[in-house]
Amino acid sequence: MNYKKIFLKKGKEASLQRFHPWVFSGAIAYADKNINEGEIVEVYTADKAFIAVGHYQIGSIAVRVLSFNNQTIDKAFWIKRLNAAYQMRKDMGLDYTDKHSSFRLVHGEGDFLPGLIVDFYGSTAVMQAHSVGMHLHRAEIADCIVKISEGKIKNVYYKSETTLPYKADTGAENGYLIGSDSDAVALENGLKFCIDWERGQKTGFFIDQRANRQLLEQYAKGRRVLNMFCYTGGFSCYAMRGGAACVHSVDSSAKAIDLVNKNMEMNFPSDTRHEAYAQDAFKFLDQMDENYDLIVLDPPAFAKHRDALRNALQGYKRLNAKAFEKIKSGGILFTFSCSQAVDKDQFRLAVFSAAAMSGRKVRILHQLTQPVDHPINIYHPEGEYLKGLVLYVE
């Protein structure tokens, strides 16, 4: 362990003593010279006691902690952390079966690997770096992913062009670190999904809604379902299997609508209950009739940063108000927010305001969150991002 050193201002070690995995730049008193972005550094208190080792980055989060032990960050370290992540998924019943071949292996801070996302889709792992440190370690991490996967992963696709800090100018390019183009169909609870990690959003699929889709399946029977912001049609496929009378999927992206239609054709060939529309959600809600009795609202993050919070809350209120206005009596509304900057209470207040505007009787049936393969490190509450409410509307 001969990493460069960073020394904190007096008292600034408190959050690290509580295992919070970030060091903010304002907490640093002084540091060794010439620390490169992405380099591994050791962090010391003002009293020169070791407290953490992590990736250095220029910006308000200066260090992302990899370990609170004074250890070398080498292949053995990555293997251990990745194995621990895989073991937790297995312990929770998530692994490859004949019905299932997709889950998130690594969820950043939630798996004690800040800045790293890894999703498994069949024989391909899609890896995303959100920190320069993880970017620099990409080749070593990709090797380790294959090693711990017990022969399941043959390809590792790296997709960090848009997730790395723009100013770091890493020149990162999306592409295969290991293997090459492969079968892009993954199974989720027996349903087939075509996953386009090269051109699709995020790593290609929204794995985080898996458990919430299963819940929706239970309520779909005989209902007329509207899936707004459907992307690849995850909720739509579960609604079809649940016996919905009809399922309408809406997304403003024509590419997403192509994927929904492809997924439907794979799972429910020639089933005329489903129709997809490439349209703006707000326009669709304005123009639609009042015939739906199960509506899903799963919009993209309205607030990517804290300064966008006010507008985001207005956005959630406006969107939900339209659904409350039009949903049939006895209808069920699944409404979500994936904005990290919006907390549970703020989201609930926005939905509450929308309900009040409609004057309808509304009851909360379920309060939803992210699934087990998107764990929240208890010392890093910022990791909680997905919030959902299931509402019964009279």
Instruction: Collect all residues with Cβ–Cβ distance below 8 Å to 2 and sequence separation of at least 6.
Output: none
Closest CB 73 distance from ligand SAH, rounded Å: 34
Phi, psi of 252 (to 5 degrees): -75, -15
Least gap, CB of 252 to ligand SAH (angstroms): 4
Least distance from C-beta 284 to ligand SAH, angstroms?
7
Backbone phi, psi, residue 56, to 5°: -90, 140
> Cβ 298 to ligand SAH, closest distance in Å?
4
Q: Which is nearer to ligand SAH, 57 or 267 (CB)?
A: 267
Q: Which is nearer to ligand SAH, 41 or 323 (CB)?
A: 323
Closer Cβ to ligand SAH, 203 or 377, answer by number: 203
Q: What is the DSSP string of 116-142?
A: EEEEEETTEEEEEESSHHHHHTHHHHH
Nearest-approach distance from CB 292 to ligand SAH, in angstroms: 16
Amino acid letter, 96: Y
Query: With 0-12 CB in 10 A as exposed, 13-18 as middle and 19+ as buried, what is 220?
Result: buried
Which amino acid appears at position 84 of this protein?
A
Q: Which is nearer to ligand SAH, 78 or 121 (CB)?
A: 121
Q: Contact residues for ligand SAH (CB under 6 A)?
A: 201, 206, 209, 229-232, 234-235, 251-253, 256, 280-281, 298-300
Strand 28-31: give its sheet, edge to edge.
22-24, 61-67, 50-56, 40-44, 4-8, 28-31
Residue (51 or 338) nearer to ligand SAH, CB: 338
Q: Nearest distance from residue 235's CB to ligand SAH, in Å? A: 5
Taking the least distance from each CB to ligand SAH, the nearer of 73 and 323 is: 323
Contact in structure between 141 and 134 (CB atoms under 8 Å): yes
**Do 158 and 178 contact (CB within 8 A), yes or no?**
no
Q: For residues 62 and 24, is the Cβ–Cβ distance under 8 A?
A: yes
